[in-house]
């Protein structure tokens, strides 16, 4: 039996518990599956929630962590259409990318963007696809509108700012550190960068928009940030929810469960009607599983935009697979600017 390296989640806990182990390498596939030899895996906050036992879409333990990555097809089923052995692909799946090989249905793979390296492609699914759905499909953005991006210096935040600028929006973003604020201003070129630890973003947005509010908010934090984000929406504005990173709890601590419950975003529909704003949300994994046909044209448009505007992912750090714990810790500490990636086999696809 052939073995491979993988980061398997057997129990919930801190990042320090993440270790690589040898597990059976996938060999059998059905007629609509492929096996991809992985080069890189992108790390998402959902992986951290899975590790803590707080991600509802995670499969039953034990399972191999990882929602996205890139690599090369080494085996395909007879009914797999549009892909061949040797193709460089992006993988978006429920689990399994923190490993040397992953077996998935071919609806969970996409052609790698040819103008990106495989390393850069590892940042596409969780960040750029999510941002594109949020802006185009949910937010229905139009040129000249204003957007506030919460947690703008993270991987999703940066990709949203980049795409929003390319679509002709005026962009404001929040971050927690001075170096992140400088990066957003100087490297990404957003119109207003707000340090939420020292500034009141509600007041800053009101001054920036002369009291009108913003047309769109991309919100991924929850709690008070979500409630305050509703306050800065202009009439007919839209807030798009893509997560709630402020939610944290321990099943052993009832008080933490209550605090987490309070952080869940909630909407007063009568107030939404009175003020004329919309609250929208989506889950990219659900769309991958149930409505792949919706994503295909979105990804085609995404690729056109990144080529036309020469947009590239901002990669914060690359850790070897064996240091998955350090990669998780970097994101949890909020030190990263951009995407954190695991290198599995950098020779793949070269």
Domains of the chain by residue range: 3-123+313-343, 126-285
Q: What is the mean pLDDT of residues 24-39?
A: 96
Q: Residue 349: pLDDT band by 50, 70, 90 thresholds?
A: confident
- Angle, alpha carbons 185-187-191 (nearest 5°): 30
Q: Which residues contact 73 (CB under 8 A, 6 or more apart)?
A: 34, 35, 36, 37, 83, 84, 85, 86, 87, 89, 109
- Homologous superfamily (CATH) for 126-285: NAD(P)-binding Rossmann-like Domain (3.40.50.720)
What is the predicted pLDDT for the residue at 285?
A: 85
Asked whether residue 120 carries a pLDDT value surpassing 80, the answer given is yes
The DSSP annotation for 310-343 comes to: T----EEEEEEGGGHHHHHHHHHTT--SBEEEEE
Q: Residue 222: pLDDT band by 50, 70, 90 thresholds?
A: confident
The CATH class of 3-123+313-343 is alpha beta
Q: Residue 248: pLDDT band by 50, 70, 90 thresholds?
A: low
Asked whether residue 255 carries a pLDDT value surpassing 70, the answer given is no
Asked whether residue 86 carries a pLDDT value surpassing 80, the answer given is yes
Which tokens go with 289? 């599983």
pTM of the model as a whole: 0.92
First vs last C-alpha separation in the chain:
27
Asked whether residue 260 carries a pLDDT value surpassing 70, the answer given is no
Residue 176 in contact with residue 225, Cβ under 8 Å? no
């Amino acid at each position: 039996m052939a073995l491979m390296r993988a980061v398997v989640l057997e129990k919930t806990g801190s990042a320090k518990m993440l270790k690589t182990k040898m597990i059976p390498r996938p060999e059998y596939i059905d007629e609509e599956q492929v096996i991809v030899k992985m080069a890189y895996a992108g790390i998402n906050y959902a992986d951290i929630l899975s590790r803590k036992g707080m991600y509802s879409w995670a499969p039953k333990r034990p399972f191999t962590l990882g929602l996205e990555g890139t690599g090369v097809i080494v085996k395909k089923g007879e009914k797999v259409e549009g892909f061949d052995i040797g193709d460089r692909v992006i993988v978006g799946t429920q689990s399994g990318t923190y490993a040397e090989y992953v077996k998935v249905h071919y609806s969970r793979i996409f052609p790698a963007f040819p103008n990106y390296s495989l390393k850069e492609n590892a940042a596409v699914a969780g960040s750029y696809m999510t941002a594109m759905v949020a802006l185009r499909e949910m937010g229905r953005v139009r040129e000249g509108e204003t957007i506030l991006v919460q947690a703008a210096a993270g991987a999703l935040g940066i990709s949203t700012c980049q795409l929003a600028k390319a679509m002709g929006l005026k962009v404001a973003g929040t971050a927690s550190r001075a170096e992140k604020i400088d990066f957003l201003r100087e490297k990404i070129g957003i119109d207003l960068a707000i340090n939420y630890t020292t500034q009141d973003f509600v007041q800053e947005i009101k001054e920036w928009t002369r009291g009108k509010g913003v047309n769109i908010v991309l919100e991924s934090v929850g709690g008070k940030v979500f409630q305050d984000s509703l306050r800065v929406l202009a009439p007919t504005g839209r807030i798009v929810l893509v997560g709630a990173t402020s939610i944290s709890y321990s099943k052993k601590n009832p008080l933490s469960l209550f605090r987490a419950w309070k952080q869940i975003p909630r909407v007063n529909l009568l107030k939404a009607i009175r003020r004329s704003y919309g609250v929208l949300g989506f889950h990219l994994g659900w769309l991958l599983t149930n409505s792949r046909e919706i994503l295909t044209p979105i990804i085609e448009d995404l690729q056109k935009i990144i080529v036309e505007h020469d947009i590239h992912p901002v990669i914060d750090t690359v850790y070897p697979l064996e240091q998955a714990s350090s990669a998780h810790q970097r994101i949890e500490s909020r030190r990263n600017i951009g995407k954190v990636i695991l290198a599995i086999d950098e020779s793949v696809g070269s």
